[in-house]
Structure 1
Amino acid sequence: MTPTKELAYERFEGQEAARQLDVFIAAYEEVYEEPPYREGPSEVAEFISHYQIYAQRARMRLIIARDGDEVVGFTTDIPLAEGLFEVRMIEPFS
């Protein structure tokens, strides 16, 4: 694969994120079949099951990274509720 000049990112939320599993599952399988993970069909099935549950949570987000038409990465998150977590910098980093 020859990388393009710039990756494209797509963001999905809620039910739209839940419907994207088929879009990125091949990338998941490719990454996690290699060492050190060595996941097989049962682990992939477990991931799928967990993702389907996780995707039902309020505020769940999915980001898919593409190089052209190829999915080259993905990540999920659930943002914390506002005010639940606050970082206060006492001194600036130097």
Structure 2
Amino acid sequence: MSVVDALADLYALVYAEPPYLEGPAQVARFRAGLPDEAARLGFRLVLAREGEELIGAAYGWTMAAGTWWSRAKEEPPAEVRDRDKLAVLEWIVHPRYRSRGIGAELMRRLLQGRPESWATLASDPRSLANGIYRRNGWRVAGHSELPWGPSMELLVRDLARVAAGERSDGGGSWLST
């Protein structure tokens, strides 16, 4: 199975859950967008596998200084806007493998050694993941409106505060590209 197929299958499984309740149309949009995402400046993909099964993934790319989320309702603080940022587009873990530190290790590996000053992601405030992000140092810097979904919180994390040596043992095998 290709990485694209495995990612799309994992995406479909994770986002079928509440509060997302996404279906085939959203999965098709995700799959179709992957090649463009992977071609962006600074793209990094981190995968977690258990044997041959993809159990987690995180990826993002560089959002240049002076830019912000296209559907944002407000500008972020200048210290965020005026610096390069890692835009985290996906951070997902298979439901059977949650609460084992896999998500934390995915993010640690994604953020490790990045040249950007900040990381940013969009989060559904109704999701369990939103609370996890906040407990792990992410803070709200804005909101966005999506034509196909709920209002999202735009979260940021100061990468200068991410400890370079932190490690959680999430199990599985790891691959960064």
User: TM-score, normalising length from structure 1?
Assistant: 0.59
Q: Which residue of 1 aligns with 2:41?
A: 58
**What's the CA shift for 1:50?**
2.3
- Unpaired segments ≥5 residues, structure 1: 1-18, 90-94
Contact 1:65 1:73 in 2 (8 A): yes
Aligned to 1:78: 61
Q: What is the Cα deviation at residue 23 of structure 1?
A: 2.7
Q: How many residues align?
A: 70
**Greater gyration radius:** 1
- Between the aligned partners of 2:60 and 2:32, the Cα distance in structure 1 is 17
RMSD: 2.6
Where does structure 1 differ by over 6 angstroms across 4 or more consecutive aligned residues?
none
Distance 1:46 1:69, change over 3 A: same
Asked if structure 2 preserves the Cα contact closer than 8 Å seen for 1:24 and 1:64, the reply is no
Q: Normalising by the residue count of structure 2, what TM-score does the alignment of the two structures yield? A: 0.34
How far apart, in 2, do the equivalents of 1:65 and 1:58 lie?
23
Alpha-carbon displacement from aligned partner over 1:42-84 (angstroms, at most 9, x marks no partner): 1111112222211111321111111222111101022567x84
For residues 9-35 of structure 1, what are the alpha-carbon distances to aligned partners after superposition, in whole Å with 9 as ceiling and x for unaligned? xxxxxxxxxx72123221111111111
Tell me which amino acid in the other structure corresponds to 2:53.
Answer: E
Structure 2 equivalent of residue 42 of structure 1: 25
Instruction: Work out whether 1:21 is the aligned partner of 2:4.
Output: yes
Larger RCO: 1 or 2 (CA < 8 Å, sep 6+):
1
Q: Match of 1:92?
A: none
- Point out where structure 2 has 5 or more consecutive residues left out of the alignment: 65-82, 85-115, 118-157, 162-177
Same amino acid, percent of matched pairs: 34
Q: In structure 1, give the amino acid aligned to 2:28.
A: A
Q: What code does the residue aligned with 2:58 have?
A: T
